[in-house]
Structure formats: structure tokens, C-alpha cells
Chains A and B, each alone.
Chain A
């Protein structure tokens, strides 16, 4: 029906894997980070919050350029990996995954921080005084009360990773099946004046992005309405 080529499917596969892994990793990293950011005011917190928000204002090429250097064989991370007999991370799926996690970090941290702020410390303190452990408190008190924030963080992270381009172009090297994501493939199709293919993939991305945002906003509406 859609008449997609094997190369198109390959790019869709890479893109979905990248979005999924980025979202999962960010939920694990962003939850404690957002909790810490929401639990007080200090210069350290403000500094961390500013660093987390950097990808919102920096051009993706800046992040891509730094990561290419750091993750490449002469960089700190890539060089250390080479030193212990592993391969550096430039032009690899792992490399663009690290890039995506950094790039989408504010989209995971900020909704969670807002949700934790709205929740306040009180429910957790009560649960603790009743003898609930740390894990218990998180899964039976925090998570159910802030699940709207988690859904928003996850969907926004997923959607933002979907639209990533400049960073992956710099860091990825357009390797089919490894680092060639949909946005880069659409770019290649358009540059090669293969407009039919570019149109098909662009339409898919457009519809998908709209659906994701529609879900986010309907959840966020319900979440707000449900609050006392």
C-alpha cells in the first residue's frame, strides 16, 4: 500500500529502535534526576537544570561536533574504549544513541520535574512514616500519582528523537541499518531529487508526529482535569 523500499523499511527500523531505546534509557536517568531537581533549591540544582536544558538552545550541530570528537578514536571516551581493546563510538548506533539521550534529556526531565513539584514531599513522607521502603514508595505512591508526567515525558522524548537530524548527520555517517534514520534518508531522497520517496516518508513522519502529540495533549488535559 505504502510502496516503501527495503532501504525505507531499514531506516524506519533504525529510527524506531533509536526512539525506543532513548526513551527507556531516559526514563531511568531522568526520574532520579528530576526528583533531585524538584526536591529543593540550590546553586548546584540550578546549574544542573541549565546543563539539562542546553540542548533546547544549542544548535544540534554543536552537540554533534563535540560528540564526534569525544566519542571518536582521538577523544576521551572513544580513546579510552580503544585503549581497552574496544571500538570507538563515532559512526555507530551506540554513538547516536548517546547523542539522542543527551539531545532529548530536557524533554524527559522537565515534565517529570513539574509532576514531582506538583506532587510535593508530603505523600512520600507519610508513606515513609508508615514504614514503606524506597522502592515501595516509588512504585506505590509516586508513580501512580505522577503517571501523567511519565507518559508525557516518554511520548515527548520519543517524538523529539524521531525528529532528530543535525546531530545524527554529524555523528552517524548515514550507515544503512545502523545510523541512517528516517530524517537523514528523507534528506538524501530530497537531495537526489527523488521527490516521490521523500514525500512518502515525510507524510508518514507527519502523521506519526501528529498522532503522538495528539496523545500527549489529550493525556495532559485529562491529567490537569483530574487534579484536585
Chain B
């Protein structure tokens, strides 16, 4: 009995030390951040080696659903501020949504040089399969649909559309050659592997802005690593990475 008691005392004494030494941080991020955030996280890790950071990418709608249902995410980077606003309004966030960048959509293809194209060229039947993210829950898919509708192309293009789970999946559909062209995030088209093929920047006035915002979730309100990472997004290092991936940044505060 005494031994067990002693072990319990030892354990309770040791636990807080272990927690302070390496705080765990799980980030849920929209898939347009796949390459940019990887670089930011790598820089964060070298400056804060104490924190164990994990990043999970997916569609913003999916991750919002998961957070509402208790997913163990500490910080959520959404491709559309509407999702974190909803989390904040429903009490699932510990901080107000904070914009960190504005995203853009581009035409991108591995079969033709998309930089020589315009959006209207999608009406051309030689593009037999056009990949976009699922408009029902992926912000980049919603904006792609808005742009196509504003350009009067939606009806002409719709029978040839294929829908990806998120915008990175849309890029993968194009990269595999299975889709001839796609509407993807500028931040993905600028990743070195993908940037070997040209892209055409779609007129930003054709769709609502892709205002990206993050929140710290309710479960992480006392997580120092989450606060530290949120703060890190405002640093020059992080902003330089984001700018390099084509994100339009809010003014420094």
C-alpha cells in the first residue's frame, strides 16, 4: 500500500514538469496552407524547440464540423472567416477570429500553359474534366463557383466539373493528369513542384474575398504553445513565408 501511495505522489509531482517541458500543439489548417504553413511551422519549431507541433490539413468545413464535435485541435486556420466566426459565436473558440491573409484562386493545368489562358477558355470543350473543390464545404470551391457564375460560364462548364474533397485534392486531380485543368489556390500553384506549370490568376472581383482567419479553440484556452504559435503568425518570418506563397497580408499591427 505504502509503495503505491509513494508512486502516486511521485507521479503527481512529475506530471506538471513533463507538461511544461513540451507543450503539445495540434493545428487544423485549410489545405491551401499545405506548403506555406509547413514552412512556418518548421521555422517555429527551430525557435521554440520545446513545443511538439502537429498539423492536420483538410477542408475548412470539415474541420469546423470536427471542432464542433470535439476534435482535439488547438488552433484552427480556416480558408474562410465564416467558419471561425461560427465557432466563436457558438462558444467553441477561445479567441475572436483573426484574419491572417487573403487567398486567391488560379487556373492551373499540367497539360497546357495556363498562364496563356483566360477564365473564359474553360468553355472550350478540349478541357474535358475541370477540377474544383466541393463548393458545399470547401471555401476555394465556393469561390471557384462564384467566379464561374459571375463570368457567365457556370452552365457551360458544369457538366465537365469534377469535385475534390478540398483544394489540395483538386490540385492532385490535375497533377495526376486525370483532370485537364483545375481552379486551385494560388498558394498551391506557387509551391515549387507545382510552379513548374504556369497559372492564370483569376480576377479577384469575380468572387467574394477569401479572407482567411484563425481562432484558438476553447480546449486550448490555457495552452501556451497555441498562444505562442498564434503570435508567431504576426512575425516577419511568418509573414515573409505567407507573402512568398501569394497570400495578401493584413496590415502589420
A interface vs B, CB < 8 Å?
68-69, 72-74, 78, 87-88, 90-91, 169, 173-175, 180, 188-194
Contact = CB atoms under 8 A, between A and B. Distances in A.
Query: Which of B128, B129, B173 has the most A CB atoms < 10 Å from its CB?
Result: B129
Contact of A191 (B62, B129, B162): B62
A72 B177 CA distance: 7
Interface in B36-69: 59, 61-62, 64-65, 68
Contacts of B164: 173-174
B5 interface: no
Contact of A174 (B59, B62, B134): B134
Interface in B99-137: 128-129, 131, 134, 136-137
B240 interface: no
Given A173-B163, A193-B65, A91 B134 contact: no
A188 B129 contact: no
A72 B163 CA distance: 16
A173 B173 contact: yes
Query: Which of A69, A72, A78, A173 has the most B CB atoms < 10 Å from its CB?
Result: A173
Contacts of B61: 191-193
Instruction: Give the dominant DSSP class at A's interface.
Output: loop
A190 B165 CA distance: 12
9 contacts: A68-B178, A69-B176, A78-B178, A91-B178, A91-B179, A174-B163, A175-B162, A191-B137, A193-B61
Contacts of B62: 191
A69 B172 CA distance: 11
Interface string B147-164: 000000000000001111
Given A74-B177, A87-B128, A191-B134, 9 more contacts: A72-B176, A72-B177, A88-B178, A90-B129, A91-B178, A180-B163, A189-B136, A193-B65, A194-B136
A192 B162 contact: no
Contacts of B131: 173
A127 to B, nearest CB: 49
B88 to A, nearest CB: 15
A191 B178 contact: no
A189 B62 CA distance: 10
Contacts of B136: 188-189, 191-192, 194
Contacts of B129: 90-91, 173
A190 B66 CA distance: 10
B165 A169 contact: yes
Contacts of A191: 59, 61-62, 65, 134, 136-137
B162 A174 contact: yes
Contacts of A175: 161-163
A66 B176 CA distance: 11
A74 B59 CA distance: 28
A219 B22 CA distance: 58
Contacts of B137: 188, 191-193
Nearest to A173: B162
Which 4 pairs across A and B sit closest by C-beta, in order of nearness? Answer: A173-B162, A90-B178, A191-B137, A174-B163
Contacts of A169: 165
